[in-house]
Amino acid sequence: MANTTTPTMARSFLQVAATEEVAPPLRAVQIEGLVVLKIIKHCKELSPSLVTGQLLGLDVGSVLEVTNCFPFPIREEDEEIEAEGANYQLEMMRCLREVNVDNNTVGWYQSMLFGCFQTVELIETFMNYQENIKRCVCIIYDPSRANQGVLALKALKLSDSFMDLYRSNNFTGEKLREKNLSWVDIFEEIPIKVSNSALISAFMTELEDDTPVTQCDYDRLQLSTSPYLERNVEFLIECMDDLSIEQQKFQYYYRNLSRQQAQQQAWLQKRRSENMSRKAAGEEPLPEEDPSNPVFKPIPEPSRLDSFLITNQIANYCNQINGYVTDLKDRLISYPGFWAELQPIIFDEGLA
Amino acid sequence: MAASEQKTVLQFPPSFSSTLSAKVHPLVIFNICDCYVRRPDQAERVIGTLLGSVLPDGTVDIRNSYAVPHNESSGQVALDIDYHHNLLLSHQKVNPKEVIVGWYSTGLGVTGGSALIHEFYSREVPNPIHLTVDTGFRNGEGTIKAYVSVNLSLGDRPLAAQFQEVPLDLRMVEAERIGFDVLKSTMVDKIPSDLEGMEISMQRLLALIDDVYKYVDDVVEGHTAPDNNIGRFISDTVASLPKLSPPAFDKLVNDNVQDHLLLLYLSSITRTQLSLAEKLNTAAQIL
């Protein structure tokens, strides 16, 4: 019969329009080999200055695909050049559209040296992007680690709870405890996958050097470590200084707060005793609160954002040092074994 | 009257192309392949500009490229010149050192239309390089060739332009070499971590040393003909190892390891201190 509808019929149009689509959480970022090469090239050419660029691609379900990118020219801090920067961006996007490149902005990339990327500017840029695009990601590349044979590419995203908090611009201890947010929750790292079209992998397989000698990447096996480690520890020390300054700010605030509270109590006592005497005299009791009294002015609590960022940086440096040193330790431990095996071959057989 | 016969000679200009060679960065190949995959349906091939620089010894270093939309019909080629100039300006804003060094097209061999395009590019740059990338794999392999155009003239009249091949070198920078394994396959699930990369490098090194060892053995036993050059090379390499007695070497290594362990300890302490400090900072105020 025409009017028996099964309960699993499609929902009416109104129902569908009313339900908001919940985007699946971002699980991975899929980058094309082309983009990786472009980022490496751009960051390396203009290092040591920091460079940025735009990422283009598609947002597919729980995977964000990055299919192309273009670099930004280095901008001076000048108002007129701001417009030029926007023009450049529009021009590039238009030109790329003509050659059928995906035209959606999905984020931006930037280079950073030695892992110090946790700055307020990064967060602000993220917020700017988030207003226009539903899902954006920031890719960080560290060109200094390429000398050690590591591809240091990271995809970052601000966590949602942090973004809400940032919008309300309220970083007091209370709010943070409420949301159960600690400094680890500010940035979320997303795993990266690299994909290539079949044509390119065919070409690359073919163009691979046939001689195994050149295939070996000796950079990785280097034992000299001091410069990198020294810089890391230097930055760590600087950050510690910054952190201690921030902590002193907090201590100062708490001291002021407790002093103010003591003052408030004293004033309140005085008021109460005054009221008592007034009641005895039969007069109207004075209010127990006096908002115009400077004693009651609430002292603003310093924002914890800076200290969080600094803590993040320190943690990052520590992690880097940790990782690097463990790596090195493994190398050093394996080398004597290596050397022990080689020695009889080389020295005893009279080759040297 | 003795009419002196003017002999017209087919002149080949002195071939300077024997010293010219080109170096290509793999990024350019990637770009070209990507543009080819994205080309509009009716186009058979993709044409674009090559950017780079000319090194002091005359080699052309090709570092970047971008595609230019074009239309090809029988005998006629139309190139979007405005687009070409716009993109060139945009690229130069980022890296002013990159200039036009030539152009590329996909497909094997040089066609008639290519000569016209080459003429256009030679108006922009004195001696453009023409790169062909065979995306059709017609010879059973992907051939990449570079050409330079040489004018053939008969007496005073220009006759034709001959495309002469130029040696091509695919150059890869260290940073790119690291990611090469990543770039080779169609899908990699995660970027290889330091430890895995190091393992691979060590294995390769071990394999190389094994090969050399086998070679030396073979020569000593007479299976292979000895080659003096290789022998000298091996002895040079081995002599470059520092002569350290085992105890001295052990001490060196141990000291180094201890220094690093100390650093490890320090950074772990810092991390624990951080989590403690953070807990204290956001702890409830008991007043």
Measure B270 CA to nearest chain A CA, in Å: 7
Straight-line distance from the first to the last Cα atom of chain A, in angstroms, rounded to the nearest whole number: 97
CB proximity A204 to B under 8 Å: yes
Residue among B83, B183, B239 whose CB faces A33 most closely: B183
Confidence at residue A1, expressed as pLDDT on a 0 to 100 scale: 44
Inter-residue long-range contacts of A319-323, CB under 8 Å, 24+ positions, other chains counted: A319/B267, A319/B271, A320/A114, A320/A115, A320/A232, A321/A229, A321/A232, A321/A233, A321/A236, A321/B263, A321/B264, A321/B267, A322/B264, A322/B267, A322/B268, A323/B194
Q: Is the pLDDT of residue A8 over 50?
A: no
What Rg do the C-alpha atoms of chain A give, in angstroms? 30
Q: Which residues of A touch B197 (CB under 8 A)?
A: 149-150, 217, 220
Measure A88 CA to nearest chain B CA, in Å: 7
Q: Which residues of B touch A325 (CB under 8 A)?
A: 260-261, 263-264, 267
Cross-chain residue pair A220–B198, CB shorter than 8 Å: yes
Cross-chain residue pair B264–A351, CB shorter than 8 Å: no
Provide the 10 A C-beta neighbour count for residue B19: 10
Chain segment A28-63, per-residue pLDDT in tens: 888 888 888 888 888 877 766 778 888 888 888 788
Between A and B, how many residue pairs show a Cβ–Cβ distance under 8 A? 259
Given a contact cutoff of 8 angstroms between Cβ atoms, the answer to whether A317 and A115 are in contact is yes
Q: Which helix H or strand E contains A52, and what residues bound it?
A: strand A52-60
Write the DSSP assignment of chain B as a string of letters: --PPP----EEPPP-GGGT--EEE-HHHHHHHHHHHHT--TT-SS-EEEEEEEE-TTS-EEEEEEEEE-EEEETTEEEE-HHHHHHHHHHHHHH-TT-EEEEEEEESSS--HHHHHHHHHHHHHSSS-EEEEE-TT-TTSS--EEEEEEEEEEETTEEEEEEEEEE-EEE---HHHHHTHHHHHSSEESSPPPHHHHHHHHHHHHHHHHHHHHHHHHHHHHTSS---HHHHHHHHHHHHTS----HHHHHHHHHHHHHHHHHHHHHHHHHHHHHHHHHHHHTSPP--
Given a contact cutoff of 8 angstroms between Cβ atoms, the answer to whether A331 and A221 are in contact is yes
Given a contact cutoff of 8 angstroms between Cβ atoms, the answer to whether A336 and B250 are in contact is yes
Q: Is the pLDDT of residue B18 over 60?
A: no
Q: Is the pLDDT of residue B4 over 50?
A: no
Average pLDDT over residues B207-218: 82
Chain segment B163-199, per-residue pLDDT in tens: 777 777 776 655 556 556 666 655 555 555 656 666 7
Q: Which helix H or strand E contains A58, and what residues bound it?
A: strand A52-60
Which residue on chain A is closest to B27 by alpha carbon? A37
Cross-chain residue pair A199–B170, CB shorter than 8 Å: no
Query: Could you give the percent of chain A with pLDDT greater than 90?
Result: 0
Confidence at residue A150, expressed as pLDDT on a 0 to 100 scale: 63
Q: Which residues contact A142 (CB under 8 A, 6 or more apart)?
A: A111, A112, A113, A114, A115, A152
Given a contact cutoff of 8 angstroms between Cβ atoms, the answer to whether B118 and B128 are in contact is yes
Q: Is the pLDDT of residue B145 over 70?
A: yes
Match 């023009």 to its residue by tokens.
Answer: A87
Cross-chain residue pair A318–B142, CB shorter than 8 Å: no
Residue among B187, B194, B234 whose CB faces A193 most closely: B187
CB proximity B24 to A under 8 Å: no
Confidence of residue A5 (pLDDT cuts 50, 70, 90): very low
Confidence at residue A4, expressed as pLDDT on a 0 to 100 scale: 44
* Residue B163, strand partner residues: B149
Q: Is the pLDDT of residue A201 over 80?
A: no
